[in-house]
Amino acid sequence: MTEKENLRTGLSTGSCATAASVAALWVLLGNDKPAQVSFELPRDGFRQMPVTQVQAGRDYAVASVVKDGGDDPDATNGCTIQAMVRFNNTHQDIRFFGGEGVGLVTLPGLGLEVGEPAINPVPRQMMRRNLRKYYQGGLDVTISVPGGEKIARRTFNAKVGVMGGISILGTTGIVHPFSHEAYVDAMEREMQVALAMGVGRIVLNSGKRSEVAIHEHYPQLPPQSFIHYGNFIGDALRTAQRLGVGRVTLGVMIGKAVKLASGFDNTHSHQVTMDRDFVTEMARQAGCSQPALGIIQEINMARQLITDLPCADYALLKPIIIDKCLQTCKRIYTGELEFILLDSLL
């Protein structure tokens, strides 16, 4: 069993909102305050969650839970999520409102109307399904996250137009630590917002340093155009292909570029390391000098191609690295693709 497999899973903000809303409705219907509640996840059975606080009024009830995200280092781990539930006179509708710490949607592309609270579609469906087990009439559900506005400053919410608080998220209800799926979902969400804004070019880059460098090429583009792929270059391009993005600029630093050139679109060091023999063969094809081939066989990090090779040899090698990277990428993405090798970022 790997170290990652030993990590503890947790519950999403959507699951927490569901648990809190079920507890609040239970009390609103005249039942005793529960110590914990059971609720159904979208596709993974049932979960139980402790209820930390319940308050009942004449026509409302409020329940709180504390998010346990497991071993995932998410900014919302340990926050309190509250649900206030009231009856409404619509007879059958369940309406959702955002209280303190839940952001408002200010940009299109998230699957919610601009001006709506950032309670995503799957958490809304999860709450509806669980609340309907106890009550068939109209309900108003207000979700709050005390301190959520401060928490949101440590997220990418502002970039996708969620302002004033966090989002209530979760497609499965379960948080998997350091989840590949969650990272790809976040990239897709950012691309959807950019496309809905009418952005004509998506700029993919590994992180903040590369974003700053590429921004010099496209100073006119809004922040939503720039999306971080981390190590998941292939997933970013597959997402762009699936969403119909017409133009992509891909910025890659030299360490990831030599891995991408060799055909690996996930450049994480756990997945692939630099293949010196492959790089040597590229250099041979490029016509690099014999001393340069020997240097490549001795290096430990790809950045040494820039620092240790004679400038003339690196100038010969660079175009073939770019060409092979493009070959890998074009097997995934068929739109207009610009590749920028960020070899000045050491």
Same domain for 246 and 313, yes or no, is yes
Range(s) of the domain holding residue 56: 4-175
Residue where the block lists tokens 């969620």: 162
Pick from 141, 175, 209: which residue ends a domain? 175
Q: Are residues 39 and 126 in the same domain?
A: yes
My answer on whether 243 and 316 are in the same domain is: yes
**Count of CA atoms in the C-beta half-sphere (13 A) of 168:** 36
Give the per-residue pLDDT at 289: 96
Question: Are 92 and 193 found together in one domain?
Answer: no
Contact 162, 177 (CB under 8 A): no
Q: Examine the domain organization and report whether 39 and 141 are in the same domain.
A: yes
Domain boundary among 135, 151, 175: 175
Q: Do 169 and 201 share a structural domain?
A: no
Distances (CA, A) of 99 to 85, 141, 205, 298: 12, 10, 35, 60
95 CA to centre of own chain: 27
Find the CATH number of the domain harbouring 136: 3.30.2110.10
- Tally of structural domains, the chain: 2
- Same domain for 168 and 198: no
Q: Are residues 220 and 312 in the same domain?
A: yes
Let me know whether 131 and 251 are in one domain. Answer: no
* 139 in the same domain as 260: no
Phi-psi region of 253 (alpha: psi -120 to 50; beta: other; left: phi over 0): beta
Tell me: do 45 and 166 sit in the same domain.
yes
Bridge-partner residues for 319, per DSSP?
Answer: none
Q: Which of 159, 175, 191 is the last residue in one of the domains? A: 175
Q: What is the pLDDT along the chain (346 residues), one digit of tens a residue?
A: 344 456 778 889 999 999 999 999 999 999 999 999 999 998 878 999 999 999 998 899 999 999 987 777 678 889 999 999 999 987 779 999 999 999 999 999 988 999 999 999 999 999 999 999 999 999 999 999 999 999 999 888 888 999 999 999 888 887 766 667 778 888 999 999 999 999 989 999 988 888 998 988 899 999 999 999 988 999 999 999 999 999 999 999 999 999 999 999 988 766 788 899 999 999 999 999 999 999 999 998 999 999 999 999 999 999 999 999 999 999 999 999 999 999 876 5
Q: What's the pTM value of the predicted model, to 2 decimals?
A: 0.78
Question: In terms of domains, do 11 and 152 share one?
Answer: yes
